[in-house]
């Protein structure tokens, strides 16, 4: 026996006793080499060989039609739901796997298998959580390298959802935002619903991908064009105007049409069915667009109009065999199939059709460059205060504001004089990580008397809270003005390892939750994408007459932090640079405060 599928539940998902039994299964698999799918799963099926090792009720109706899609689902019922949606739309199936508790074979391994399988062209993945992050990342990157689009629905965004996910298959899921970072890094399209998963799988299976974000729209109704335009704006597609010559051609055909983009054929199409083909051919061929959506709605399903329309579309497809075109239309399954046979993807809803184009464009861009491996360089153990954290950052290339630890009031005054401007004063003691919480920080201190007074106060506060361990003195740094304050953080995700977080200082992170994440390590280009991703980006880009901030230096610092985090690996629990001041263009960045927390060993 080389493999087995275990349907039964009553394992890790039920508590300690079940977990112990499942652990024995896992050990048995490892010892004997028997591969196990499940337990607590619905099994597998293979539409090519006709093997149905599963108890999905969908099979009491009809057997699957063979095709290019492999479905990998951690939930059996959801996997069945996805399969049924694809079947309803005539999308053929290759492999279907429900992985359940994953005591041996996990979703990542199934992705690897499907990626290497020549018969699989597209992979649909339903995920509640991964246990082995590295394996998932490798599998997804392998699929991207082999040009097998992966569309993933990862659930458990919400707090209740995450708890439900954890109790469902007893998985230890990484933070949900981290999956965004994972999918982004691996070129996976993250769907937000079952329907979107199936929409994108269906159009991706046609193998026609846009080379850019420029969307052309041809419609028999202004209304359809507006809906596409609204959604395009929301998902980052552009709707450039038709070139003047193409507009003139179409105006000549139909003087009262509106051929800017969206291009409205108007209800005149009912009187002259040739218009569908002529308009579509012109907009596809005009060179201004990377994909086209045709809103043909119920007309495409009309038994009196459809035959002629399908014929016209066939000719357009002959002239433009590789151009991605999605038709938003309502027709029965048989008629819809005839459009598919002419090489057209169909999605009923114009908004969903638009999101599918955006998904295709994201998939076409592939995965982020796989970063060079970083040689391990663990963080030295011990307690880190600001002084030691700053020193560590300096060694990895992050510019840090200058600072002097004064051990006497006189030394503090000297440091202030040397700075020649107001200073920040902070108690320096290895045992005190969170200085603000104990009143250990004074900002904008100026004048000899003030410096002396704060020195004594900060030292006293430090001694009161250091609980007997040493207080080194007071760290004195010049105040930095005219900068945009940002926050850079590293956290070790239990599943995916070090993840870098970026956001703007203060309320942007704390109130607006406006942050971006990436897996470490990454390069400067990825860092810049991350910076531009936050909603508050205009703050760095010269909003309200401010000078533009040095985004290039910020990107370099983020990439440097990511390489440091990757090198540190499991030795680093977290890192906070808060704030990282971003100065005007050409002046770089400066870490004004930092805290390294090594992992407890």
- Segment 533 to 552, residues that bind a second copy, using CB under 8 A: 535-536, 538-539, 543-544
Whether the Cβ atoms of residue 400 and residue 460 lie closer than 8 Å to each other = no
Q: Which of residues 498-517 bind a second copy (CB under 8 A)?
A: 507, 510-512, 514
The β-bridge partners of 71 are 96, 124
Beta strands in 87-131 (DSSP E): 93-98, 122-127
Contact with a second copy (CB under 8 A) among 17, 23, 27, 230: 230
| Closer CB to a second copy, 225 or 497, in the complex | 225
Integer Cα distance of 435 and 324 in angstroms: 58
By C-beta, is 234 or 418 nearer to a second copy? 234
CB of 151 to a second copy, least distance (A): 16
Note whether 256 binds a second copy by CB under 8 A. yes
* Interface with a second copy (CB under 8 A), residue from 134, 193, 408, 481: 193
CA atoms within 13 A on the CB side of 554: 29
Residue 460 or residue 543: which is nearer to a second copy going by CB? Answer: 543
Binding residues for a second copy restricted to 267-326, rule: CB under 8 A: 267-268, 270, 295, 297-299, 301-305
DSSP lists the bridge partners of residue 127 as 154
CB of 232 to a second copy, least distance (A): 7
CB closer to a second copy out of 114 and 191: 191
User: In terms of CB distance, is 222 or 380 closer to a second copy?
Assistant: 222
Distance separating alpha carbons of residues 68 and 148, to the nearest angstrom: 10
CA 288 to chain centre: 29
Q: Using the rule CB under 8 A, is 52 a contact of a second copy? A: no
| Chain centroid to CA 443 | 38
Q: Which of 179, 35, 31 lies closest to 103 in space, CA to CA?
A: 35
What are the residue ranges of helices labelled H in 332-447? Answer: 333-341, 350-364, 386-395, 409-419
CB nearer to a second copy: give 299 or 555. Answer: 299
Residues in region 71-130 near a second copy by CB under 8 A:
73-78, 80-81, 84-85, 88, 126, 128
Number of residues that bind a second copy (CB under 8 A): 91
Residue from 217, 208, 580, 160 nearest 401 by CA: 580
Nearest-approach distance from CB 507 to a second copy, in angstroms: 7
Q: Does 156 bind a second copy (CB under 8 A)?
A: yes
Residue placing its CB nearer to a second copy in the complex, 180 or 573 = 180
State in angstroms the smallest separation of the CB of 446 from a second copy: 16
Q: Could you tell me the sign of the dihedral formed by the alpha carbons of 4, 7, 12, 15, in that order?
A: negative
Q: Of all residues in the chain, what percent are helix, strand and coil, respectively (each to 5)?
A: 45, 20, 35
Nearer to a second copy, 241 or 570 (CB): 241
Minimum Å distance from CB 226 to a second copy? 4
Nearest to 36 by CA among 15, 17, 11: 11
Taking the complex as a whole, the smallest distance from the CB of residue 225 to a second copy amounts, in Å, to 5
Binding residues for a second copy restricted to 335-354, rule: CB under 8 A: 348-352
**Min separation Cβ 318 and a second copy, Å:** 26
Our CB check for a second copy shows the closer of 75 and 562 to be 75
**How far, in Å, CA of 376 to CA of 284, rounded?**
51
Q: Give the C-alpha separation, 504 to 516, whole Å.
A: 10
Q: Does position 402 bind a second copy by CB under 8 A?
A: no
Nearer to a second copy, 42 or 551 (CB): 42
Q: Is 167 helix (H, G, I), strand (E, B) or coil?
A: helix
* SS3 assignment, position 95: strand
Site for a second copy in 194-223 (CB under 8 A): 194-195, 219-223
CA distance linking residue 430 with residue 389, whole number of Å: 10
User: What backbone phi and psi angles, to 5 degrees, belong to 479?
Assistant: -70, 140
Under rule CB under 8 A, residue 435 binds a second copy: no
Minimum CB distance to a second copy, residue 436 (Å)? 10
The window from 52-60, 280-288, 424-432, 551-559 that contacts a second copy (CB under 8 A) reads 52-60
C-beta closer to a second copy: residue 41 or 428: 41
Site for a second copy in 159-188 (CB under 8 A): 159-161, 164-165, 167-169
Q: Which stretch binds a second copy (CB under 8 A): 50-58, 105-113, 419-427, 574-582?
A: 50-58
- Of 10, 50, 307, 376, the one binding a second copy (CB under 8 A) is 10
Instruction: Round to whole Å and give the CA distance between 327 and 342.
Output: 12
- Residue 313 in 3-state DSSP? helix
Options 256-264, 414-422, 495-503, 516-524: segment touching a second copy (CB under 8 A):
256-264
Closest CA to 402 of 412, 394, 413: 394
First-to-final CA distance of the chain: 42
């Amino acid at each position: 026996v080389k493999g087995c599928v275990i349907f039964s539940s009553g394992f890790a998902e039920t508590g300690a006793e079940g977990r112990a039994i499942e652990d024995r299964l896992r050990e048995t698999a490892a010892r004997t080499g028997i591969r196990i799918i499940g337990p607590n799963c619905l099994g597998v099926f293979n539409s090519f060989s006709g093997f149905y090792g599963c108890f999905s009720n969908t099979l009491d109706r009809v057997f699957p039609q063979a095709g290019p899609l492999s479905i990998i689902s951690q939930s059996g019922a959801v996997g069945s739901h996805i399969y049924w949606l694809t079947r309803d739309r005539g999308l053929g199936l290759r492999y279907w796997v429900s992985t359940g508790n994953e005591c041996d074979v996990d979703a990542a391994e199934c992705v690897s298998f499907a990626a290497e399988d020549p018969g699989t062209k597209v992979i649909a993945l339903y995920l509640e959580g991964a246990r082995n992050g590295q394996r998932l990342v490798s599998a997804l990157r392998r699929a991207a390298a082999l040009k097998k689009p992966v569309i993933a629905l990862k659930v458990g965004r919400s707090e209740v959802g995450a708890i439900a996910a954890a109790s469902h298959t007893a998985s230890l899921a990484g933070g949900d935002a981290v999956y965004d970072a994972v999918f982004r890094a691996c070129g996976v399209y993250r769907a937000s619903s079952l329907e979107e998963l199936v929409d994108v799988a269906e159009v991706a299976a046609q193998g026609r991908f846009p080379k850019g974000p420029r969307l052309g729209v041809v419609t028999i109704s202004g209304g359809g064009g507006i809906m596409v335009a609204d959604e395009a704006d929301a998902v980052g597609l552009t709707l450039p105007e038709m070139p003047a010559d193409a507009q003139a051609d179409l105006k000549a055909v139909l003087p009262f049409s509106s051929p800017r983009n969206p291009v409205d054929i108007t209800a005149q199409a009912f009187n002259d069915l040739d218009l569908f083909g002529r308009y579509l051919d012109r907009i596809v061929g005009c060179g201004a667009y990377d994909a086209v959506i045709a809103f043909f709605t119920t007309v495409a399903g009309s038994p009196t109009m459809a035959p002629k329309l399908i014929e016209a579309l066939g000719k357009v497809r002959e002239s433009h065999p590789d151009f991605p075109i999605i038709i938003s239309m309502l027709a029965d399954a048989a008629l819809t199939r005839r459009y598919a046979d002419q090489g057209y993807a169909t999605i009923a809803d114009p908004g969903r059709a638009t999101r599918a184009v955006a998904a295709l464009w994201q998939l076409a861009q592939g995965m982020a460059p796989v970063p060079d491996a970083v040689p391990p360089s663990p963080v030295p153990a011990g307690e880190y205060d600001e002084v030691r954290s700053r020193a560590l950052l300096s060694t990895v290339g992050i510019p840090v504001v200058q600072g002097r630890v004064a051990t006497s009031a006189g030394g503090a005054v000297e440091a202030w004089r040397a700075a020649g401007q107001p200073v920040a004063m902070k108690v320096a003691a290895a045992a005190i990580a969170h200085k603000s919480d104990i009143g250990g920080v004074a900002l904008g201190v100026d004048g000899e008397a003030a410096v002396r007074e704060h020195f004594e106060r900060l030292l006293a506060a430090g001694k009161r809270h250091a609980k007997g361990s040493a207080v080194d003195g007071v760290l004195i740094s010049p105040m930095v003005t005219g900068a945009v304050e940002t926050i850079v953080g590293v956290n070790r995700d239990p599943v995916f390892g070090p993840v870098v977080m970026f956001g703007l200082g203060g309320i942007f992170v704390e109130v607006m939750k406006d942050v971006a994440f990436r897996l470490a390590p990454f390069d400067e280009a990825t860092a810049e994408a991350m910076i531009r991703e936050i909603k508050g980006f205009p703050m760095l880009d010269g909003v309200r007459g401010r000078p533009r901030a040095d985004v290039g230096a910020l990107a370099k610092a983020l990439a440097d932090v990511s390489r440091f985090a990757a090198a540190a690996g499991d030795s680093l629990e977290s890192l906070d640079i808060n704030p990282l001041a971003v100065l005007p263009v050409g002046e770089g960045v400066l870490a004004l405060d930092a805290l390294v927390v090594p992992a407890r060993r």
